[in-house]
Structure 1
Amino acid sequence: MIHTAIGRFTLRADHVNSLKEKRSIVSGLKSRVSSRFNASTCEADLMDSHKDIVIGVAVVSGSKETAMREMGRIADFIDLNGVAELISEEIEIHSF
């Protein structure tokens, strides 16, 4: 069976003053998450807001527990990243 954990992380970056600065933060965060956790990432929403960031993350695993554990580690990493405040997180798992 294949298990996919999908996360939507909403962050707030009050110190950001332009979309260019936000793109730099988002790009760096996506890159760090992807390389450290072997996860797929994207900027998922609020692309025209320079202070709000929504990052989508997907992890695929043969084990439901492994997928959820990895998504939990990613959530902790995003929360502690220091470039923006984590406002909310939504995590779902789908099994096929």
Structure 2
Amino acid sequence: MKTLALAFVAAFLLCSNAAAAIKINSHQAKNMDDVMSLGVIYINHNFATEQEAEVAINDDADQHGAKYYHSILMREPGSNGNMHVSAEIYR
């Protein structure tokens, strides 16, 4: 019984501390009073899908302590549709 209770408490603490950055658009960023830009992050990988790119941007934004991010997906000509990503991050 104690093991189950400890596992529940540990799971609750892990879930409550995991706060992922929230994706916003540029219009939202301009209209939010409490948002401050932290700069732009770049990820130099080729991503085949937008979902892969968004996961990578979200993870990187979290590592920089950002609360919000606005992703920018760029496709390079002649790259078979692969994407490079960057995002403006906000606190």
More strand by share: 1
Q: TM-score normalised by the shorter chain: which range applies?
A: 0.3 to 0.5
| TM-score, length of structure 1 as denominator length | 0.37
- Larger Cα Rg: Structure 1 or Structure 2? 2
| TM-score, length of structure 2 as denominator length | 0.38
